[in-house]
Amino acid sequence: MDSLAMKPEEIEAESFRIIDAEAGRHDWPPAEWQVVRRAVHTSADFEYVRSMVFSQGAVEQAVAALKSGYGIVTDTNMALSGISKVRLARFGTRVNCHVADPDVIEIAKQEGITRSIAAMRKAVGDPVNRIFVIGNAPTALFELLRLTDEGTAKPALIIGLPVGFVGAEESKNALAASGQAIPFITNIGRKGGSNVAAAVVNALAILAGQC
Protein backbone atom coordinates (compact mmCIF):
# COMPACT_ATOMS: atom_id res chain seq x y z
CA MET A 1 0.00 0.00 0.00
CA ASP A 2 1.21 3.49 -0.82
CA SER A 3 2.37 5.08 2.43
CA LEU A 4 0.96 8.44 1.34
CA ALA A 5 -2.55 6.98 1.38
CA MET A 6 -2.15 5.55 4.89
CA LYS A 7 -3.42 7.16 8.07
CA PRO A 8 -0.89 7.85 10.86
CA GLU A 9 -2.22 4.99 12.97
CA GLU A 10 -1.94 2.63 9.98
CA ILE A 11 1.66 3.73 9.38
CA GLU A 12 2.48 3.07 13.04
CA ALA A 13 0.84 -0.38 12.97
CA GLU A 14 2.70 -1.30 9.78
CA SER A 15 5.97 -0.04 11.29
CA PHE A 16 5.55 -2.26 14.33
CA ARG A 17 4.65 -5.22 12.12
CA ILE A 18 7.92 -4.73 10.22
CA ILE A 19 9.91 -4.34 13.46
CA ASP A 20 8.40 -7.51 14.93
CA ALA A 21 9.13 -9.42 11.70
CA GLU A 22 12.73 -8.21 11.34
CA ALA A 23 13.78 -8.22 14.99
CA GLY A 24 14.12 -11.98 14.84
CA ARG A 25 14.23 -14.17 17.92
CA HIS A 26 14.59 -12.43 21.25
CA ASP A 27 13.69 -13.06 24.86
CA TRP A 28 11.95 -9.80 25.77
CA PRO A 29 8.79 -10.29 27.85
CA PRO A 30 5.73 -8.58 26.29
CA ALA A 31 5.79 -5.39 28.40
CA GLU A 32 9.52 -4.77 27.97
CA TRP A 33 9.15 -5.46 24.26
CA GLN A 34 6.64 -2.61 23.97
CA VAL A 35 9.37 -0.31 25.24
CA VAL A 36 12.24 -1.79 23.23
CA ARG A 37 10.37 -1.79 19.96
CA ARG A 38 9.39 1.85 20.38
CA ALA A 39 13.09 2.65 20.80
CA VAL A 40 13.69 0.78 17.52
CA HIS A 41 10.73 2.60 15.94
CA THR A 42 12.11 6.05 16.71
CA SER A 43 15.69 5.25 15.65
CA ALA A 44 15.25 2.61 12.93
CA ASP A 45 18.10 0.92 14.76
CA PHE A 46 17.71 -2.74 15.71
CA GLU A 47 20.76 -2.51 17.96
CA TYR A 48 18.36 -1.54 20.79
CA VAL A 49 16.90 -5.06 20.68
CA ARG A 50 20.23 -6.26 22.03
CA SER A 51 21.42 -3.24 24.01
CA MET A 52 18.52 -2.21 26.23
CA VAL A 53 18.69 -3.09 29.92
CA PHE A 54 15.88 -2.99 32.49
CA SER A 55 16.17 -3.41 36.22
CA GLN A 56 13.98 -6.24 37.50
CA GLY A 57 10.34 -5.13 37.39
CA ALA A 58 11.20 -1.72 35.93
CA VAL A 59 8.24 -1.56 33.57
CA GLU A 60 5.69 -2.32 36.31
CA GLN A 61 7.37 0.17 38.61
CA ALA A 62 7.48 2.76 35.83
CA VAL A 63 3.79 2.31 35.12
CA ALA A 64 3.02 2.68 38.84
CA ALA A 65 5.21 5.80 39.01
CA LEU A 66 3.43 7.39 36.05
CA LYS A 67 0.02 6.59 37.54
CA SER A 68 1.13 8.23 40.80
CA GLY A 69 1.41 11.52 38.91
CA TYR A 70 5.07 12.00 39.77
CA GLY A 71 6.77 14.82 37.89
CA ILE A 72 9.04 13.97 34.99
CA VAL A 73 12.32 15.81 34.55
CA THR A 74 14.31 15.66 31.31
CA ASP A 75 17.87 16.79 30.68
CA THR A 76 17.11 18.37 27.28
CA ASN A 77 14.33 20.35 25.70
CA MET A 78 14.45 17.87 22.81
CA ALA A 79 13.41 15.05 25.13
CA LEU A 80 10.76 17.32 26.65
CA SER A 81 9.41 18.04 23.15
CA GLY A 82 9.34 14.37 22.23
CA ILE A 83 7.28 13.26 25.22
CA SER A 84 3.58 13.01 24.43
CA LYS A 85 1.86 15.35 26.88
CA VAL A 86 -1.58 14.16 25.72
CA ARG A 87 -0.86 10.62 26.87
CA LEU A 88 0.29 11.86 30.29
CA ALA A 89 -2.54 14.33 30.83
CA ARG A 90 -4.76 11.74 32.52
CA PHE A 91 -2.17 11.26 35.25
CA GLY A 92 -1.69 14.97 35.89
CA THR A 93 2.00 14.57 35.11
CA ARG A 94 4.15 17.68 34.86
CA VAL A 95 7.14 17.43 32.53
CA ASN A 96 9.97 19.89 33.03
CA CYS A 97 13.45 20.62 31.79
CA HIS A 98 15.49 23.22 33.64
CA VAL A 99 18.61 23.33 31.48
CA ALA A 100 17.71 26.67 29.87
CA ASP A 101 16.26 28.33 33.01
CA PRO A 102 17.97 31.69 33.67
CA ASP A 103 18.73 30.77 37.31
CA VAL A 104 20.30 27.47 36.21
CA ILE A 105 22.47 29.22 33.61
CA GLU A 106 23.56 31.74 36.25
CA ILE A 107 24.38 29.11 38.90
CA ALA A 108 26.30 27.00 36.37
CA LYS A 109 28.40 30.03 35.47
CA GLN A 110 29.00 31.03 39.10
CA GLU A 111 29.91 27.54 40.28
CA GLY A 112 31.80 26.43 37.17
CA ILE A 113 29.58 23.37 36.67
CA THR A 114 27.67 22.21 33.58
CA ARG A 115 24.14 23.47 33.06
CA SER A 116 23.05 19.84 33.07
CA ILE A 117 24.33 19.41 36.64
CA ALA A 118 22.81 22.69 37.82
CA ALA A 119 19.49 21.75 36.18
CA MET A 120 19.45 18.37 37.92
CA ARG A 121 20.10 19.98 41.32
CA LYS A 122 17.21 22.37 40.75
CA ALA A 123 14.90 19.54 39.65
CA VAL A 124 15.41 17.43 42.76
CA GLY A 125 14.52 20.43 44.90
CA ASP A 126 10.87 19.71 44.07
CA PRO A 127 9.87 16.43 45.74
CA VAL A 128 7.16 15.73 43.12
CA ASN A 129 9.95 15.11 40.59
CA ARG A 130 10.65 11.41 40.84
CA ILE A 131 10.92 10.30 37.20
CA PHE A 132 14.19 11.27 35.51
CA VAL A 133 14.69 11.07 31.76
CA ILE A 134 18.25 11.62 30.59
CA GLY A 135 18.85 11.36 26.87
CA ASN A 136 21.92 13.44 26.36
CA ALA A 137 24.16 14.51 29.22
CA PRO A 138 26.33 11.97 31.07
CA THR A 139 27.01 14.66 33.70
CA ALA A 140 23.27 14.88 34.42
CA LEU A 141 23.08 11.13 35.00
CA PHE A 142 26.24 11.02 37.15
CA GLU A 143 24.91 13.95 39.21
CA LEU A 144 21.52 12.30 39.64
CA LEU A 145 23.19 9.13 40.93
CA ARG A 146 25.25 11.23 43.35
CA LEU A 147 22.16 13.11 44.56
CA THR A 148 20.39 9.77 45.01
CA ASP A 149 23.31 8.33 46.98
CA GLU A 150 23.29 11.30 49.35
CA GLY A 151 19.50 11.06 49.73
CA THR A 152 18.64 14.37 48.07
CA ALA A 153 16.97 12.68 45.09
CA LYS A 154 14.44 9.87 45.45
CA PRO A 155 13.93 8.50 41.94
CA ALA A 156 10.97 6.22 41.32
CA LEU A 157 12.42 5.64 37.85
CA ILE A 158 15.54 6.64 35.95
CA ILE A 159 15.52 6.41 32.17
CA GLY A 160 19.20 6.82 31.42
CA LEU A 161 20.06 6.97 27.72
CA PRO A 162 22.87 9.50 27.23
CA VAL A 163 24.49 9.33 23.81
CA GLY A 164 28.04 10.03 22.80
CA PHE A 165 31.72 9.35 22.93
CA VAL A 166 32.81 10.85 26.25
CA GLY A 167 31.19 9.62 29.46
CA ALA A 168 27.90 8.36 28.04
CA GLU A 169 28.71 4.67 28.24
CA GLU A 170 30.35 5.08 31.66
CA SER A 171 27.33 6.95 33.06
CA LYS A 172 24.99 4.18 31.92
CA ASN A 173 27.26 1.49 33.33
CA ALA A 174 27.17 3.36 36.65
CA LEU A 175 23.37 3.40 36.52
CA ALA A 176 23.18 -0.32 35.73
CA ALA A 177 25.66 -1.04 38.54
CA SER A 178 23.56 0.90 41.06
CA GLY A 179 21.71 -2.31 41.83
CA GLN A 180 18.02 -2.79 42.38
CA ALA A 181 17.56 0.17 44.71
CA ILE A 182 16.37 2.38 41.82
CA PRO A 183 14.17 1.16 38.97
CA PHE A 184 16.00 1.96 35.74
CA ILE A 185 15.84 1.58 31.98
CA THR A 186 19.08 2.08 30.09
CA ASN A 187 21.21 0.62 27.32
CA ILE A 188 24.73 -0.62 26.81
CA GLY A 189 27.08 1.38 24.64
CA ARG A 190 27.45 4.82 23.13
CA LYS A 191 24.11 5.07 21.41
CA GLY A 192 21.01 6.63 22.96
CA GLY A 193 19.62 10.12 22.68
CA SER A 194 16.78 12.43 23.57
CA ASN A 195 14.59 10.90 20.86
CA VAL A 196 15.05 7.38 22.23
CA ALA A 197 14.56 8.57 25.82
CA ALA A 198 11.30 10.27 24.85
CA ALA A 199 10.17 7.14 22.99
CA VAL A 200 10.70 5.06 26.13
CA VAL A 201 8.54 7.47 28.15
CA ASN A 202 5.84 7.38 25.48
CA ALA A 203 5.83 3.57 25.45
CA LEU A 204 5.49 3.51 29.24
CA ALA A 205 2.69 6.11 29.11
CA ILE A 206 0.79 3.91 26.64
CA LEU A 207 1.23 0.89 28.93
CA ALA A 208 0.08 2.99 31.92
CA GLY A 209 -2.99 4.05 29.98
CA GLN A 210 -3.91 0.42 29.26
CA CYS A 211 -4.04 -0.87 32.80
Catalytic residue among 19, 33, 35, 41: 41
Closer by beta carbon to a copy of itself, 23 or else 156: 23
Q: Position 22: which residue type?
A: E
- Nearest to a copy of itself of 39, 59 (CB atom): 39
**26 is an active site residue:** no
Is 102 exposed, middle or buried, given 0-12, 13-18 or 19+ CB atoms closer than 10 A?
Answer: exposed
**Residue in 210, 200, 174 with CA at minimum distance from that of residue 74:** 200
For residue 91, what are the contacts with CB-CB under 8 A and spacing of at least 6? 66, 67, 68, 69, 208
Decide whether 71 or 189 has the Cβ nearer to a copy of itself: 189
Question: 35 or 97: whose CB is closer to a copy of itself?
Answer: 97
CA distance 193 to 138: 11
Half-sphere exposure of 100 (CA within 13 A, CB side): 7
Task: Provide the strand spans (E) within the chain.
Answer: 52-54, 71-74, 95-96, 129-134, 157-160, 184-187
CB of 64 to a copy of itself, least distance (A): 27
CB of 65 to a copy of itself, least distance (A): 23
Interface residue list for a copy of itself (CB under 8 A): 3-4, 6, 8, 11, 14-15, 18-19, 41-45, 76-78, 80-82, 114, 138-139, 142, 163-168, 170, 189-195, 198
Comparing CB distances to a copy of itself, the nearer of 69 and 189 is 189
Q: How far is CA 84 from CA 16, 96, 197, 208, in A?
A: 18, 13, 12, 13
DSSP string, 59-100: HHHHHHHHHTT-EEEESSHHHHHHS-HHHHHTTT--EE--TT
Active site residues: 41
